[in-house]
Each structure stands twice: as C-alpha cells, then as structure tokens.
Chain A
Amino acid sequence: MRLLIPILALALLAPALSAKEELVTLPERDSVQLTIYNSEDLTLVRERRTLTFKEGDNRIQFSWANTLIDPTSVEFQPVGKDARDALEIQDTSYPAESHEMLIWTVTCSKPAGYEVEISYFTSGISWQAEYTGMVSKNDDTADITAYVTVTNNSGEEYENAQVRLVVGVIHLVERIVDLAQPGHGGGRGMPQDRWREMEEEAQGEPAADNGMARPKAIQKAGLSEYYIYTVEGTETIPNRWSKRLRSFQVKGVPLKTVYRLEPAKFGPYFTKVLEFKNDEEHKLGKEPLPDGMIRLYKDVGAGRLAWMGVLQSKYIPKGDEVKINIGPDAECTLKSKRTGYKKKDLAFRYNSIVGWTIVEDHELVVHNFRDIDVEVEIHQSFQGDFDFDSEDKFEKHDASTQKIHFTLKAGQEIKLTYKVTTRYGTNRK
C-alpha cells in the first residue's frame, strides 16, 4: 500500500524549484530492509527502487509527511557499477515550502533504468526480547523460549521487509524523534557506512526449506560491541501493529534453586532464586540474551501450567549467570532474631561518654519444608567498625558483608548463630 509516504517521485517538469504544479511517477519499492535498535528509538531503513533516468539532470523528490524520519539522515546511493558510473548527485535541496521533502539533482550520462538505494533513520519502530520459561515440577530444568516482538509506530507500513535487530547500547548525540520534527531539515547528513558494513558482515545464511512453513530462523552474529539478529525471509508489519517471532527454543535447561537472603540484590526478603548460566553446559551460550520480560510457568503435569511470576531481565552476556528472583516461598523459611545485646569498654572524657562497644548475638533459623534438598545462601551486612565471629562457616563477602552457603536437606531445620562487636566513638579504630 502506498497511501503513506515516503513517496519517491521522479519530477518530470521543468527544474524550477518554486513550481507548484508537478507531475510525478511513483516507483515501487523493490525491497526494504529494517535495522532496528533496542537501546535507542532508532531504525535504519534501506529501500531499493528502480528509477528511469534521462540524460542530463534528473530531479528526484523524496518526501515523508506524517512519518518520523530524520531528514538529516536521508541518503541516495546508486546500486551496482553501471549505476555508479552513470549517475552523479549534483546537489540535495530542502525546499522552503516543506519540512518533509527533499529533491536530489542527479546527472545521468547514460539514460536507462537504474537501481538506487535510499536509506534513512526513522524512529517509532522498536523491538523487545521476551522469554517464556516452563519450569519442571522440582525446579530442576526449564524449557526456555525466546521471542522478539517488533512494534511499528513509525507512521509507515513496511511490506515484506527484511528485519534485523541490533542488540547493544549505541551512542547517539541527538534523538531521532527530535530530528524528525520540523526545523531539523537542512542536509546535516550522517555517515552510514559503518552501519552498512555492520549489516553486511552480519548477514546470515538462509535456512533450508523442508516443505512446511515453520517458525522463521533468527540468525545471530556478533559485531564489535553489538549483536545483530537477522530474521529469516521478510516480514510485513503494518503501522501500529506488533509482531512476535520466536528467536530460539531450548528444552531442559538445567536449573539450580538457591534460597537467598541478599538484600543488596534481591531485596529484604528470603527469596527463592532460580539460577542457570548462559553457557553450553546449560544448552545455551550461543548468543547473549538481550534484556526483556521473563515469564515463568510451572509445569504441573499433563502439559498443564501454573503461573510462577514475571520479571524484567537485564542483558545477559554469553557465559554469564542468570538469577531469577521468584520471591518468598512458604516452603523454605528464615527467621532471625537478636538474642543478646551488651555494651562494654565505655570511655569517658570530661565525665561524658565518648566511646563504647556493642556486642550483639544473633540467631537465624532456616527451615526447609520441601521434600527435596535445597541450597541456601545468606548475606549479613554490618556498618561501622565491627568484628564478626561465628562457629558456623560464614566467610567474608566484602568489607561489610559476611555470607554463608549450605545445603539444607528435605525437611531439615538449621540454626545459625553469630556475634557482632561494633566499636563506636573513640573506640572506633
């Protein structure tokens, strides 16, 4: 459909820019390719069209009313040696009467039809990763399906577009959506060679056809600090629609359940954390996992599901750990209390107390009500000048934090105790 622009028009009338009457032809897009970034509201669109050129100067009008195209990014490029030899861009005009139009003057030495490529940045197209995990009954494995969802709010409909998704945080000095506003015209072109090279390098092999349609393969390739996902074939995403495609599916990813009290990472509660690594041992590790929603379901048998929870994951590099906080679990509990509190080593100056030391005893009781063994890790943090002492196997995590990691058998209860001595005032070292 072509009611939405950009319209590429070969202007056939006299070259006076002020002329209002124009007769234009509307060449079809031969192909279009979208490269969508998820860290910024940015998409590189590259479209190819075949235009017929006459000898001498040809005026080519490109307009993009009601879209979110950055006018400073629009580029014109002949495709192929013949076209490059025959065509030369004389200038690019931004007519005063429209903020959403430009006119290239192209000199042709050998009249013929040539393929040209027009590329530009647009905002309004985004993509997001999403994950669905089906966790086994004992929390020991998960079937993980990754999706990418592309949303088109750009104002333009891209039919049969080749779609590439860039994972990574790029640096922009101005937002594309701002550059798309009137007043930002005026030919401050940005070099796109780098993006073009990136994409060409990241081009994936087309997948083999086995007769029946199947979910499209999404090829992943690393490039510099980025990853490019290439969706096999082409996609049509009408304006304001979203489309979700499967990125990969892995069955039986081994999971570890650890109950953790780590306020710095998981909040103030003793929570159940499902853990795996994005590596080969866990049937993953082929690519980093972009940030996105993880929705977890529990397999309750016979293919039926129960809801476990949803959380936003961060970008997970290859080989890195993934820890999914499921929240507190009534089947494994921790109770803590202060069992002793004493002051000692009081120091005075001019009859006023200036230094003292507080000795506190604490007790933690962890109870596993589940019928399987579980791992537990507890972090305890302290402030100031303190000494920590325990007969349990705590170890130093950092200057202010002690931690202990152990396995708790099915039905087992364990009591941990520790003493913390904190020096205040002049007693402080």
Chain B
Amino acid sequence: MNKRLILTLAGAALVASAIGISQPEPAQARIKLATLPDKEAVVVRFDHPNQVLVEEERTISLQKGVNTVDFSWAGTNIDKGSIVFRAVNANSKVEILSTSYPPGEAALTWSIASPDARSEKFRLSYLMANIQRETDYRAIVSNDEKTLTFKHYFKIRNWSGGHFDSADFITRDGKTFEKALENGEAKRVLVNKWDKVKLTKEYVYDTQRQYEGKVLTDYVLKNTKEMGLGAIPLEYGKVRIYQDDGKGTTAFTGEDWGTFTPIGDDMRLNIGIAQDIKVEFKRMVNDVENRRGNVYDRDIEDEYEIKNFKDTEATLILTLRVDGEWEMQKDSSGFESYERIDNETIKFKVKCPAKGEPVKLKFHYKQLNIW
C-alpha cells in the first residue's frame, strides 16, 4: 500500500537492539535485514462513522522456530494500538508470541513461532487516520415533481501518506468498489441509485426556519421501501436537486444538506422560497385576563392571511409555536384537523385556492397561569 509502510521479515537474530548502544536518543539504532512480502489484498472499510479500518494480506516465509517480523509505517498515521495481526487460516499452527515496540519509531516487531518452515498468509488490520470520506447526493426530479431519481455518491480523500495500488473500498452500507488511490488524491464513486422514488412537495411557513415569514419549498423523501428508498440509513450529505424541464434536459433547482436519516425517517430538503405564496401575519387580540395577584392568563388571536398567486391550488403547512401552558380555542380555523406535534408546536394545513384569492387562518389560544 505504501512504499514507506514496510512489513519486514528479518532473520531471527538480525533484528535486535544494537548491543552496546543505549544512549537516550529518540530512535535507537537497529540493524535490519529485510525481505518485503507483497501485499495481496487490501480492503479499506468505512463502516465506522469516524474511523477507517485498513486490512491487508501478506504471505510471509517463516523458518522453523521463532521468527521476528518487523512492521513499520513511517510517514503514515496508523493507530499503533489498533493493529491486529493474525494468520488468515484460523486453524493455523503458527503462534504470535509477543509484540515489541521500539522507542521513537513508527514500528513494531512480532515474535512468531512456526512448527516448520512454511509460507503463511497473514492478515493485518489497523486504523488509519487522514482518509476522509464524504457523502453527496444528486436528485433528478420528474417534471411533475411526483418522483425523483436519487443518486448516492461516496467521495474519498486520501491524505494518509500512503497510497493504494488497488484496494477494495467498502462503504458503511456494504457497497464495495475497487480503486487505486494515490496519496493526496480524491475519488468520487456512485454507490447507490434509486429510481422512481416518491416525493412529497410541501410549502411550509415556519418562522423558526425562515424568520421573515417567507414560504419555503421543501421536498420530503421518506426513507422507506414503499416510497422507493428504505434500503440503508441515509448519511448526512449535500443534495443537489435538478428537475426534468420536459425538454430532455434538466435545470438546477436548489440544494440543501440532507441530515442523517435512519430507515423510516424523513429527509426534508429545502429547495428555496416559494415567492408566489404570501403570508401576512397580524395579531388581532392580545388581552390579559383572569388576573389573580401577580398571576394572569393571556387571550391571543393571531390571523394569517394567505394568498396563492399560482395557477393551481396549493396546500400550505404552517408550523406555529407557543411556549408554556396554553390551550387552543374552539373558534380557531380547522379546529378539528390541526396537529399538535408536541406541547409547544402546532401544525395547520391550509388549502389555498389559486390566483391570489385570500384565505384566512385564525389561531385563537389562551396562555395560562403566567407570572
């Protein structure tokens, strides 16, 4: 994998602490005679969200008795404690006796006992730093905004100091691709593609997300099999959205960060502002009542006037928030159909007729026991 990442087989007596030299320099002089066994299979795994595990196989010729094998990794950032070294054949008679760590060196030596002279294949696993990974997505939305093609890309940047002549890279969801990767090089690979993924388009009014009260356009992808996804949890990553323009090409319609989405959850992507839907907010009533000492209630009536200037009817979702103890009043619009998400959050769905005809949402509530 790396010219400087050396697995050395040394004649038993030849890797030794140099006799008579014991001055406290950072790296002690060590005399080595090295044969360099080739790497036979290299796997780079990204299962863990923060760590990269590299596995490589090498065939080492062993003599009968105790052999010393030297492994050094100058210039690459290997987590020494994470190194696991074992014979590929689980029933091998070869035994690893001990591991020694010389001072001031990115190296170790194994003492390996072999019952006879033989070639034995070993697998070496270790964590390697500075191999970055990044997920990103491309969504090509159908002209009618009902379905999309969702492409999942995996990008690797190799700053590890090592290079991979040929390695199997395995993503968190088990996709494997074989590539060569130089130090300093980055590669981006398409790992998943889902066609005909069902999509919901939502117009959302939520002052926590858009403080000026503008209407956001969201695409909502449900990570389930029924909706055409649901195969893997979706990693955090940028989603670039293109739409089929009906003329055989696509247009870029926006991008958003897709949050980590477990199977069953929604990925909500904001593609921009829906300027054709306007919401005007007015507080019509704001009265203190039921005063008891320093405690009082507050009667509040908020009005949202919505105009949809599009040619077609649209549904607007208003996500509103009230802190503390409060009660919805029955004369609110859509009293039967609102959804209280949690104590503080309430969601109204309002059908907005086309061509600018105004519709009003009345939200009447009482905040109780304030002091």
List the interface of chain A (C-beta within 8 A of B): 1, 3-4, 130, 132, 157, 211-216, 238-246, 293, 295, 297-298, 300, 303-310, 330-331, 333, 337-343, 346, 348, 350-353, 356, 360-361, 367, 369
- Tell me if B35 counts as interface (CB < 8 A to partner A): no
Question: Are B48 and A330 in contact, with the CB atoms below 8 A?
Answer: no
* Contact indicator A305/B102 (Cβ below 8 Å): no
Using Cβ atoms and an 8 Å threshold, which residues of chain A touch B93?
A: 212
Question: Does B55 lie within 8 Å of A305, measured CB to CB?
Answer: yes
Number of interface residues of B (CB under 8 A): 57
Interface residues of B in 79-111 (CB under 8 A from A): 81-82, 84, 86, 88, 90, 93, 95-104
Of B86, B97, B369, which one neighbours A356 at CB under 8 angstroms? B369
Partner of A239, one of B22, B66, B90: B22
Q: By the criterion CB–CB under 8 Å, are B115 and A212 in contact? A: yes
On whether the beta carbons of A213 and B95 are closer than 8 Å, the reply is yes
Contact segment of B185-193, B289-297, B357-365: B289-297
A156's nearest neighbour on chain B, judged by CB, is B22
B99 lies within 8 A of A369 (CB): no
Contacts of A351 in B (CB 8 A): 293-294
| Residues in A whose Cβ lies below 8 Å from that of B24 | 239-240
- Contact A346:B369 (CB < 8 A) given known A305-B125, A331-B233, A341-B324: yes
Cα-based distance from A304 to B55 in the complex (angstroms)? 8
Given A238-B17, A339-B342, residue A348 in contact with residue B293 (CB < 8 A)? yes
Q: Which of B134-142, B150-158, B159-167, B257-265 contacts A (4 or more CB under 8 A)?
A: B257-265
In the complex, what distance in Å separates the CA atom of A110 from the CA atom of B204? 103
Selected contact of A214 from candidates B22, B65, B95, B101, CB within 8 Å: B95
Given contacts A295-B81, A331-B262, A369-B262, contact A243 B99 (CB under 8 A): yes
B135 → chain A, closest Cβ, in Å?
A: 14
B325 at the interface (CB under 8 A from A): yes
Least distance between B101 CB and chain A CB atoms (Å): 4
A81 to B242, CA, bound (A): 94
B224-247 residues with Cβ-Cβ distance < 8 A to A are 233
Residues of A near B82 (CB, < 8 A) are 295, 307, 310
Residues of B within 8 A of A360 (CB): 343
Q: Which residues from chain A contact B65 at a C-beta distance below 8 Å?
A: 213
Chain B residue nearest to A147 (CB atoms) is: B99
Closest B residue to A363 by CB, please name it: B342
Q: Tell me if B43 is interfacial: C-beta within 8 Å of chain A.
A: yes
Contacts A239-B22, A341-B325, A343-B369 known; 16 new A-B pairs at CB < 8 A: A1-B20, A212-B95, A213-B66, A214-B95, A214-B113, A215-B97, A243-B99, A243-B101, A300-B47, A303-B88, A330-B233, A330-B260, A331-B263, A341-B343, A352-B294, A369-B264
Inside 8 A of A309's CB, which chain B residues have their CB? 48
How far does the Cβ of A387 sit from chain B's closest Cβ, in whole Å?
A: 18
Residues of A within 8 A of B125 (CB): 297, 305
- Residues of B near A308 (CB, < 8 A) are 48
Given A331-B233, A346-B292: A241 and B17 interface contact (C-beta under 8 Å): yes
B51 at the interface (CB under 8 A from A): yes
A353 adjacent to B17 (CB under 8 Å) = no
